[in-house]
Amino acid sequence: MSAIEGGAIGGGLDARSSVLRLEGTERTYPGSPPVRAVRGIDLAVSAGDYLSLMGRSGSGKSTLMNVMGLLDRPTAGRVLFAGADTVRLPDRHLAAVRGHGIGFVFQSFNLLPHRTAAENVALGLGYQGVPWRMREPMAVAALEAVGLGHRATALPGKLSGGERQRVAIARAVAGKPRLLLCDEPTGNLDGVSAEMILGLLDELNTTGLAVIVVTHDHAAAARARRHLLMSDGVVTEAVLADTQRGSQAPVAPQAAGALGE
């Protein structure tokens, strides 16, 4: 049985199921004037959660994903991964937490063009410190899990868009992360390929993997069980009653004016 938990806003998590927790998290880009891209967000993500993140262009979605993915540090507040505060970790240690715990999928696949599908996945395992002898069998197993075992030796240029994204997902999950962050994973795909990718995310989520998907597509967002809306750096969580959209509960009520200009 996987520990799938419903998504109450923020609370009631024990250390085992807590994957990610943001506490008053901010990200301001310096400049004149500074850009307050992420403003005072409180959010808890548990094992088995599935969240969508929607919002206009420039609302701060990618900035928030970078902070949640430990690719970027907040300028204020805390980011806890598996219960541990990451904010003061040295870069090397932060990279190790990220490498072992978090997978990333992007709109543009981000595969190396002159490496085969299996090599792309194996390189990702290399960054996680997996010994090289184990990388190839693990990469092939990950490709088989996304239905691409037979294309392991193909270069990305010889694969369809949907297949490339499946390779990217295999790369993201080969090392068994706890959190999968997807920024517009179906943005470059046709409807059939997009449906296949979303089906794969659903399947991965049922194993207990926490999934967060940035999307502009309402049908893709509807696959998630929790729905975040971002506007001007502030996140609200929409409470959906079964098939109906309901009211919106603020996730970051203190957001406005939280940082000095």
Ligand X SMILES: Nc1ncnc2c1ncn2[C@@H]1O[C@H](COP(=O)(O)OP(=O)(O)OP(=O)(O)O)[C@@H](O)[C@H]1O
List residues near ligand X by CB under 6 A. Answer: 29, 35, 37, 55, 57-63
Looking at beta carbons only, is 62 or 188 nearer to Mg ion? 62
CB-based closest residue to Mg ion: 62
Looking at beta carbons only, is 42 or 183 nearer to Mg ion? 183
Does position 107 interact with Mg ion (CB under 5 A)? The reply is no
Q: Which does 60 bind (CB under 5 to 8 A by kind): ligand X, Mg ion, none?
A: ligand X
Distance in Å, CB of 17 to ligand X, minimum = 28
Distance in Å, CB of 69 to ligand X, minimum = 12
Coil, strand or helix at 156: helix
Dist. CA 202–CA 260, nearest whole Å? 41
Over the range 37-52, which residues count as b (16 or more CB within 10 Å of their CB) and which as e?
A: bbbbbbbbbbbbbbbb
Looking at beta carbons only, is 76 or 123 nearer to ligand X? 76
Q: Which does 55 bind (CB under 5 to 8 A by kind): Mg ion, ligand X, none?
A: ligand X
Distance in Å, CB of 62 to ligand X, minimum = 3
Contact 230, 62 (CB under 8 A): no
> Which residues have C-beta within 8 Å of that of residue 186, sequence separation ≥ 6?
165, 193, 194, 197, 198, 215, 217, 220
Q: Which does 58 bind (CB under 5 to 8 A by kind): ligand X, Mg ion, none?
A: ligand X
> Which residues have C-beta within 8 Å of that of residue 52, sequence separation ≥ 6?
212, 213, 214, 215, 220, 221, 222, 223, 224, 226, 227, 228
Backbone angles phi and psi of 113, in degrees to 5: -70, -30
Distance in Å, CB of 131 to ligand X, minimum = 36
Residue in 62, 75, 107, 188 binding Mg ion, rule: CB under 5 A: 62
Count of residues that interact with Mg ion, criterion CB under 5 A? 2
Looking at beta carbons only, is 57 or 244 nearer to ligand X? 57
Dist. CA 197–CA 247, nearest whole Å? 29
Distance in Å, CB of 184 to Mg ion, minimum = 7
Looking at beta carbons only, is 35 or 96 nearer to ligand X? 35
Contact 27, 87 (CB under 8 A): no
